């Protein structure tokens, strides 16, 4: 039913070797033969078997992309950018969502080792997750090229890393809130690099770190809502919040608004990531932009290079992308 190279060769009256050579545009075959083989292949609608090609070429023309979940605009946008880049070299993407579970990641690493993909991009996993760094390092050393995006690598020589300056982002956000007159500034998220930027900023501005104003939760809308509800019960509330991501910010705003507290009139809120919806939310979210598209493209391009067997210039082993404060309407001057 499915046409194979043998069929083409038979009909063209040549050996499969010649047929293969012709179809791969070898200069060795006679013009006349070349023409005939191509014509027959076209007529029969011959499509080379990718599985056989993969075996002999030791490459599948696919890459693996590890992200925690798809239903998160940050990863969706990153994925899109990576896909747009690698498709130029005809690479396809195998989607590997871990649901924030280390064990899932391990399964995917083993799948990668089996030779299903020619390279892999690992994105961040949430800060509370157990890291599989040694396993990934083994993967990168002995199997396929690997690139990290927004995730720390134990060895930049082997696993290049593309990061955004989240610490500085949180610093900028906090600084802006301080400039707006806020002193009671909280942080919403998980323990992370971002929190460190927040911490540095307030201490530098002689504001004491108040553990009461630090709220841990899932980095989702639901997590934000949970934090918002907790805030409603508080006697003394912070006047401003820096959130780990835009989803949490939206959740917090939703819960607060529902409880009769206005944003930004009563409380200023800053998100992180600048996901698409944040610009169209009510109120439009002040947030920290992370150059997802740029980073995704860079990660894709670096992986393409590595898969092509090229060495990476030292300057590209660790790339830190600047983040940027985007001022919209979820923040306002402190009114007292």
Partner DNA sequence: TCATCCTTTTAAAACGTTTTAACTAATGTG
Partner DNA sequence: CACATTAGTTAAAACGTTTTAAAAGGATGA
Least distance (Å) from a second copy to the CB of residue 51?
4
Considering CB distances under 5 to 8 angstroms, the limit depending on partner class, which of DNA, a second copy, none binds residue 40? none
Cα distance between residue 276 and residue 78, in whole Å: 12
14 versus 78: smaller Cβ distance to DNA: 14
**Minimum CB distance to DNA smaller for 16 or for 93:** 16
If one asks whether residue 327 binds a second copy (CB under 8 A), the answer comes out as: no
Is 174 a binder of a second copy (CB under 8 A)? no
Q: Which of 25, 27, 142, 335 binds a second copy (CB under 8 A)?
A: 142
Residues 81-110 that bind a second copy (CB under 8 A): 83, 92-97, 110
Residue 73 interacts with a second copy (CB under 8 A): yes or no:
yes
Closest distance of CB 108 from a second copy, Å: 9
- Segment contacting a second copy (CB under 8 A): 9-17, 58-66, 145-153, 170-178? 58-66
Residue with smaller CB distance to DNA, 21 or 219: 21
Q: Is residue 116 close enough to count as binding a second copy by CB under 8 A?
A: yes
CB of 144 to DNA, least distance (A): 14
113 binds, among a second copy, DNA, none (CB under 5 to 8 A by kind): a second copy
The closest alpha carbon to 312, from 142, 84, 147, 89, belongs to 147
Residue 289: which of 162, 168, 179 has the closest Cα? 168
Q: Which is nearer to a second copy, 73 or 189 (CB)?
A: 73
Which of DNA, a second copy, none sits in contact with 251, Cβ below 5 to 8 A by type?
Answer: a second copy
Instruction: Report the residue from 31, 71, 208, 235 that binds a second copy according to the rule CB under 8 A.
Output: 71
Do 52 and 108 form a contact (C-beta atoms < 8 A)? no
Cβ–Cβ under 8 Å, residues 257 and 43:
no
Residue whose tokens read 């630090």: 214
How many angstroms separate the CA atoms of 161 and 222, rounded? Answer: 30
How far is it, in rounded angstroms, from Cα 94 to Cα 92? Answer: 7
Strand order in the sheet with 324-326: 214-216, 185-189, 240-243, 268-273, 286-289, 324-326
Least separation in angstroms between residue 69's CB and a second copy is: 7
List binders of a second copy among 186-225 (CB under 8 A): 221, 225
Binding site for DNA (CB under 7 A): 2, 4-6, 14-18, 20-21, 23-24, 28-33, 48-49, 51-53, 55-58
Tell me which residues touch a second copy (CB under 8 A).
Answer: 1-2, 47-52, 54-55, 58, 60, 62, 69-73, 76-77, 79-80, 83, 92-97, 110-111, 113-116, 142-143, 221, 225, 250-251, 253-254, 257, 276-277, 280-283
């Amino acid at each position: 039913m499915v046409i194979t190279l043998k069929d083409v060769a038979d009909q063209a009256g040549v050996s499969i070797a010649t047929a293969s050579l012709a179809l791969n545009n070898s200069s060795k075959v006679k013009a006349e033969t070349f023409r005939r083989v191509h014509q027959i292949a076209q007529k029969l609608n011959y499509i080379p078997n990718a599985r056989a090609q993969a075996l002999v070429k030791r490459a599948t023309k696919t890459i693996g992309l590890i992200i925690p979940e798809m239903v998160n605009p940050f990863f969706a946008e990153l994925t899109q950018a990576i896909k747009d880049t690698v498709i130029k070299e005809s690479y396809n993407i195998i989607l590997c969502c871990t649901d924030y579970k280390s064990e899932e990641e391990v399964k995917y690493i083993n799948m990668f080792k089996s030779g299903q993909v020619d390279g892999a991009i690992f994105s961040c996993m949430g800060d509370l997750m157990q890291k599989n760094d040694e396993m990934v390092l083994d993967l990168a050393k002995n199997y396929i090229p690997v690139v990290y995006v927004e995730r720390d690598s134990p060895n930049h020589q082997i696993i290049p890393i593309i990061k955004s300056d989240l610490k500085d982002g949180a610093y900028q956000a906090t600084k802006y809130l301080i400039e707006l007159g806020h002193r009671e500034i909280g942080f919403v998220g998980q323990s992370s690099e971002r929190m460190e930027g927040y911490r540095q900023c307030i201490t530098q501005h002689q504001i004491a770190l108040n553990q009461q104003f630090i709220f841990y939760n899932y980095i989702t809308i639901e997590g934000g809502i949970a934090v918002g509800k907790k805030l409603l019960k508080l006697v003394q509330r912070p006047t401003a919040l820096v959130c780990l991501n835009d989803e949490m910010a939206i959740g917090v705003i939703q819960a607060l608004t529902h409880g009769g507290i206005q944003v930004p009139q009563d409380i200023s809120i800053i998100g992180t990531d600048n996901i698409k919806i944040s610009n169209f939310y009510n109120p439009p979210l002040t947030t920290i932009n992370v150059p997802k598209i740029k980073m995704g493209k860079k990660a894709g391009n670096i992986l393409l290079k590595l898969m092509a067997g090229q060495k990476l210039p030292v300057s590209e082993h660790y790339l830190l992308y600047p983040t940027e404060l985007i001022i919209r309407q979820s923040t306002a001057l402190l009114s007292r």
